[in-house]
Amino acid sequence: MKAVFISRHGGAEVLECGERPRPEPGKGEVRVRVKACALNHLDLWVRAGLPGVEIPMPHILGSDIAGIVEKLGKGVSRPKVGTPVIITPGIGCGKCKHCGSGWTSLCDQFMIMGFRRDGGYAEYVVVGAKNVIPVSTRYRFEEWAATPLVFLTAYHMLVTRAALKKGETVLVHAAGSGIGSAAIQLAKTLGAKVITTAGTDEKLAKAKKLGAWGLINYQHANFTDEVKRLTKGRGVDVVFEHIGPATWTGSLASLAKKGRLVTCGATSGPKAEIDLRFLYMKQLSIFGSYMGGDGELRKVMRLLSLGKLKPVVDSLFPLEQARSAHEKMESRDFFGKIVLTI
């Protein structure tokens, strides 16, 4: 089958387009004909190499996959061949207490598609039958591919961890990122007032269309000062963090008394400082969050199917141009998801 894979870690130049063996579905598995696969920052990290993480080579990247069920393995009767599906980006053992309670990402055997197992930069992929979720024809494959990882992560962060409530105010960093564009919509759907940041006014105009109320261009203003101004000195109830040290101190300073910060990422680096006096005097809470569970993904897919949330696609690239797609992601010049079509 045609695939884009890496044989060593490095820059975008290590992405090779070529032939890989077509995988056969085993017992309980299905083979999906991939139609679209969205990029995530994870793809760039896996491509570059992560300290202490061994990736078997050659390796196929890609966590966000939409396609059609093409072949059923032994013991599988559904979904039927021909069903349009997305693939759950995170895969647990399905047997442990964490998988059983819906906290799949805490499973000891938790794997992410395209991270420690082959992903969707290919014509075909094989997964367990329980790891595909049928989708409606409301959106095209490239739009469905733009949804699983970011909406699942945003749901787990805002609903399960930070318990964002109607009438509360939330600061969502980086409106133009895939996760930012998902979080703005979800927070708005939950009835919260959304303040967001971006580096250009063009991105902020798009964020407004997604439902953001407070718009901050971080190139021209200090976001903490702006949050204080917009909330009349009170601060926000929740900060949706995924940037890390570049925004961390300002994020904590943007919280109201009893505020909650929830974080899922560290794009600007892994270490950040906390002034403990500030943490305890204002009685703040900090939540870590890592993807989410299958039950949450099904809930969020239902909201998408109902049109309450919408995929945000920035641009499409044919699989052969995966290198250009990676360069686009590194340029930060995008709004929403960059998607490969196959």
In our burial notation (b when 16+ CB lie closer than 10 A, e otherwise), range 27-43 reads ebbbbbbbbbbbbbbbb
With binding defined as CB under 5 A, does residue 91 bind Zn ion? Answer: no
Of the listed pieces 105-113, 153-161, 207-215, 232-240, which binds Zn ion according to CB under 5 A? 105-113
With binding defined as CB under 5 A, does residue 127 bind Zn ion? Answer: no
CB atoms within 10 A of CB 335: 22
Of the listed pieces 1-9, 58-66, 98-106, 310-318, which binds Zn ion according to CB under 5 A? 98-106
With binding defined as CB under 5 A, does residue 46 bind Zn ion? Answer: no
| Residue from the set 68, 96, 106, 266 that interacts with Zn ion by CB under 5 A | 96
Of the listed pieces 107-115, 126-134, 287-295, 298-306, which binds Zn ion according to CB under 5 A? 107-115
With binding defined as CB under 5 A, does residue 93 bind Zn ion? Answer: yes
What's the rounded Cα separation, in Å, for the pair 97 and 107?
8
Is the CB of 191 or the CB of 295 nearer to Zn ion? 295
Of the listed pieces 84-92, 172-180, 190-198, 320-328, which binds Zn ion according to CB under 5 A? 84-92
> What backbone torsions phi and psi does residue 194 show, to the nearest 5 degrees?
-110, 125
Query: In whole angstroms, what separates CA 170 from the centre of its chain?
Result: 18
To Zn ion, the closest distance from the beta carbon of 296 in angstroms equals 15
To Zn ion, the closest distance from the beta carbon of 116 in angstroms equals 15
To Zn ion, the closest distance from the beta carbon of 115 in angstroms equals 16
To Zn ion, the closest distance from the beta carbon of 93 in angstroms equals 3
Burial label, 68 (beta-carbon count in 10 A; 0-12, 13-18, 19+) = middle
Of the listed pieces 53-61, 74-82, 106-114, 129-137, which binds Zn ion according to CB under 5 A? 106-114
Is the CB of 105 or the CB of 231 nearer to Zn ion? 105
To Zn ion, the closest distance from the beta carbon of 121 in angstroms equals 26
Query: In whole angstroms, what separates CA 7 from the centre of its chain?
Result: 25
With binding defined as CB under 5 A, does residue 112 bind Zn ion? Answer: no
To Zn ion, the closest distance from the beta carbon of 297 in angstroms equals 15
With binding defined as CB under 5 A, does residue 99 bind Zn ion? Answer: yes
To Zn ion, the closest distance from the beta carbon of 178 in angstroms equals 26
Helix axes 41-48, 322-331, angle to 10 degrees: 110
Of the listed pieces 79-87, 89-97, 128-136, 248-256, which binds Zn ion according to CB under 5 A? 89-97
> What backbone torsions phi and psi does residue 144 show, to the nearest 5 degrees?
-60, -40
To Zn ion, the closest distance from the beta carbon of 293 in angstroms equals 10
| Residue from the set 84, 89, 92, 311 that interacts with Zn ion by CB under 5 A | 92
Beta bridge partners of residue 6, listed in sequence order? 59
Read off the amino acid at residue 247. T
To Zn ion, the closest distance from the beta carbon of 94 in angstroms equals 6
With binding defined as CB under 5 A, does residue 107 bind Zn ion? Answer: yes
Sequence-ordered list of residues with C-beta below 8 angstroms from that of 303, at least 6 positions apart, any chain: 151, 186, 189, 309
Q: Are 79 and 69 in contact (CB under 8 A)?
A: yes
Sign of the CA dihedral with 252 first, then 254, 259, and 261 last: negative
| Selection from 304, 289, 250, 247 nearest residue 163 by Cα | 289
For residue 182, the SS3 value is helix
With binding defined as CB under 5 A, does residue 279 bind Zn ion? Answer: no
Is the CB of 93 or the CB of 279 nearer to Zn ion? 93
Binding residue count for Zn ion, defined by CB under 5 A: 5
Q: Are 70 and 81 in contact (CB under 8 A)?
A: yes
Tokens of 110: 């938790």
Sequence-ordered list of residues with C-beta below 8 angstroms from that of 157, at least 6 positions apart, any chain: 183, 240, 262, 264, 287, 289
Beta bridge partners of residue 22, listed in sequence order? none
With binding defined as CB under 5 A, does residue 291 bind Zn ion? Answer: no
Sites of contact with Zn ion (CB under 5 A): 92-93, 96, 99, 107
